[in-house]
Chains A and B, each alone.
Chain A
Amino acid sequence: MKAYIDASLLAILKEKFPSAEYDSEATQPAVYVPAAEIVAVLSFLRDDERFAFARLENLTAVDYKTYFEMVYHLFNWTAGVWITVKVKLDHEQPMVASVTGVFPGAEFEEREVYDLMGVGFTGHPDLRRILLADDFEGHPLRKDYVQIMPPHVRRIEKGGR
């Protein structure tokens, strides 16, 4: 990531959404917003002409064992500027509003996060598993996921045959 959003613009964002938090010391601070406000923040970032982040380049989630983190990378093509927006989610029941209403191109990526990470999206037009089979149990990208060996594979213990 090359040019990151200006600190003065981040202050404007903070003024508009007082619950948004970021580390003002860091060089490229990610903006943390509450799960309830993600759709409002993203549509503000897209529509306000001072920000004009018209492209959602990447959407994913990370499992930090005690909580999940949704990551949104937005890009303003005219100014060549980036912003990273993050949402912390509960580990027991991760739920967040779908951003497909703001960026329709997020549809498959949200389905992928739902499939592999087990994060639920409210308001998604077609929330189904996308890569794994419909009857698959569990979410493989979670850190506590245990791979079940196929029945024909036998693990050889160390030192023995």
Chain B
Amino acid sequence: MPQTETYTLSMGPQHPSTHGVLQVRLDLDGETILKATPYMGYLHRGIEKLLESRTYVQGVPYTDRLDYVSSMNNNLGYCRAVEELAQIEVPERAEYIRVIVAELNRIASHLVFIGSLAIDLGASTGMLYAFRDREKVLDLFDLVCGARMTFHYIRVGGVSADLPPEFAAKCDEFLKVLPEFMQEYEDILTGNEIFQYRLKGTSRMTKEQALSHNMTGPNIRAVGIPFDIRKVDGYGVYPKLAFDVPVGENGDNWDRYRVRYLEIYESAKLVRQALDGLPEGDFMAKFPKALRPPKGEVYSRTEGTRGELGFYIVSDGGPKPYRVHIRRPSFINLQGLDDMCRGMLIGDSVAAFSAIDPLMGEVDC
């Protein structure tokens, strides 16, 4: 076989298929990838440092800017950590509202995933459909808090406002059309031969590889490990609600797509149950405005859209946190990129970037 010279190709940071400013250097032999090294930091804003210079309550809107397509989940993770540190009891109604908005946001985020996966593989129609339906979720959020992105709706101690009276009917309407548009993706994308050919069997990963790279979220569930923090830790009111954790079998890009696709149905199930079981009561806990948590530290985690979102907060008893560290799932999931790309072709690397679904706002923090 003729030997070709190994050379390096830099993809990104300005590349349409790298989902923001991710740069990947590919070591190539012909068109086969020998090694893929991610370079990040182009969107680094120093959010951990910024949070040290704000009070605990002022820190919430900064977390919106981490994973900006599922801000509700970031708000939830940060607020739960502060509440655990300051020992604030959240009213049950607020917990239910949190489940509704966080799961709706998970649906919106997975729709972005499906849309961007489709366009990365050349199916621009699929992208238009997914973004059309995400708009329906954003309209619901507009109703709830007046914003379509970066919501700052979940606050320390509860949520910023009660659900408006017309929300239940609008949300009900959305849950009714959800199976219809999901069926459309099934027809347009899942059944498409090219789509299947590009995803099945590419970027396969074993359970051992995924565990050793400490991957979480849909990426680890795709290899067949049912690691979902909503089940493992059972935080908030999740233990009272029934839902399944979809897992894949082969750990290829197809399973990563299917796991997220099925998770949309599970999230819809959760929203339905939380809407039906929504109790009356307060939506905000009572706690002193100048919050000074006792001296100590906490590591609190939630299941973000992309995996385990952890907040490690150290308090020195003052009004501002002494140190905040954010365990961002996208950042740690990127460790698996090398294994996913090795032996694949350049074209498949685009599918791998898309299937791992990193969000640069979160990676670079």
Q: Scoring A residues 121 to 161 as 1 if CB is less than 8 Å from chain B, else 0, what string do you get?
A: 00000000111110000001100000000000000000000
Q: How far is the CB of A129 from chain B (nearest CB, A)?
A: 8
Is B332 touching A60 in the complex (CB atoms < 8 A)? no
A77 on the interface (CB 8 Å rule)? yes
Set B49, B211, B322: member contacting A140, Cβ < 8 A: B49
Interface bin, chain A:
20 to 34
Is B312 touching A60 in the complex (CB atoms < 8 A)? yes
Which partner residue on chain B sits nearest A59 by CB separation? Answer: B327
A108 on the interface (CB 8 Å rule)? yes
Is B232 touching A105 in the complex (CB atoms < 8 A)? no
Which partner residue on chain A sits nearest B48 by CB separation? Answer: A141
Are A131 and B312 also in contact (CB < 8 A) when A2-B233, A57-B327, A141-B48 are? no
B292 on the interface (CB 8 Å rule)? no
With an 8 Å Cβ cutoff, the count of chain B residues facing the other chain is: 32
Which partner residue on chain B sits nearest A3 by CB separation? Answer: B233
A109 on the interface (CB 8 Å rule)? yes
Q: Please list the 8 inter-chain residue pairs (A to B) with the smallest Cβ-Cβ separation, ordered nearest first.
A: A105-B214, A131-B41, A60-B325, A131-B44, A104-B212, A58-B327, A62-B323, A73-B299
Q: Footprint of B on A, CB under 8 Å?
A: 1-2, 54-58, 60, 62-63, 71, 73, 77, 80, 82, 84, 103-109, 112, 116, 129-133, 140-141
16 additional A-B residue pairs with CB within 8 Å, beyond A58-B312, A133-B41: A58-B310, A62-B323, A62-B325, A73-B312, A80-B232, A103-B212, A104-B212, A105-B211, A105-B332, A105-B335, A129-B41, A130-B40, A140-B49, A141-B48, A141-B49, A141-B323
Q: Footprint of A on B, CB under 8 Å?
A: 40-41, 44, 46, 48-49, 211-215, 227, 232-233, 298-301, 308, 310, 312, 314, 322-323, 325, 327, 331-332, 334-335, 364-365
